[in-house]
Amino acid sequence: MLDQLDRIPDAAAVPATIAATRAAGQRVFGFGSRAYAGEDLRPSLMRDEWLAIGGDAGRRADAIEIERAIVTELARIGRPLQANVDYCAALLLEACGLPRSAFTPFFAAARSAGWMGHAAEQRAKGRMIRPVSHYAGIGLT
């Protein structure tokens, strides 16, 4: 995701960058989500943390301006997509000092306990589980 952002010098370059990316048959990384058709709150929370630690003071100071330009351009071409968790997580992880090569292992480590829990549950039941999110805990009205 950051490699893509590196290729965008400023918000004015976004339309040409998106056109070239799509012409090459590539995706615009960091936008849209198969899991969240509506609003995904995680990107805004990560964006807030990135701002809180001063991420916007570094070399990615214009990342939010570029994000807005990408959202605007995608909507203009009929692809109304918002920044997803990958866009904001990449900015936040970089601002925290993690090298890009550590992003995927960091992601995997954070999810490994859940993945192992799913594997154990599936093994115990003897079948693949395809969960559907349904919160039934405290706070439902």
pLDDT digits (tens, 9 = 90+) for 84-127: 989 999 999 999 999 999 999 998 898 898 888 888 988 898 88
Cβ-contact 71, 108 below 8 angstroms: no
Q: Kindly state whether residue 97 falls inside one of the protein's structural domains.
A: yes
Number of domains making up the chain = 1
- What pLDDT is attached to residue 115? 86
Q: Kindly state whether residue 30 falls inside one of the protein's structural domains.
A: yes
pLDDT at 11 over 90: yes
Q: Kindly state whether residue 132 falls inside one of the protein's structural domains.
A: no
Axis-axis angle for helices 103-125, 85-95 (nearest 10) = 130
Q: Kindly state whether residue 125 falls inside one of the protein's structural domains.
A: no
Q: Kindly state whether residue 71 falls inside one of the protein's structural domains.
A: yes
- What pLDDT is attached to residue 141? 47
Average pLDDT, integer, range 5-12: 94
User: Which pLDDT band, with edges at 50, 70 and 90, does 77 fall under?
Assistant: very high
Q: What range defines the domain where residue 84 resides?
A: 2-111
Q: CA 19 → CA 16, 100, 106, 127, distances in Å?
A: 5, 26, 32, 44
Q: Kindly state whether residue 41 falls inside one of the protein's structural domains.
A: yes
Q: How many helices (H) and strands (E) does the chain have?
A: 6, 0
pTM for the full model?
0.78
Please report where in the chains the tokens 């970089």 appear, as a residue: 94
- What pLDDT is attached to residue 134? 60
In tens, the pLDDT along 62-76 reads 999 999 999 999 999
**Cα 16 from Cα 20, distance rounded (Å):** 6
CATH, residue 7: 1.10.230.10
Residue 11's closest CA among 50, 89, 48, 63? 63
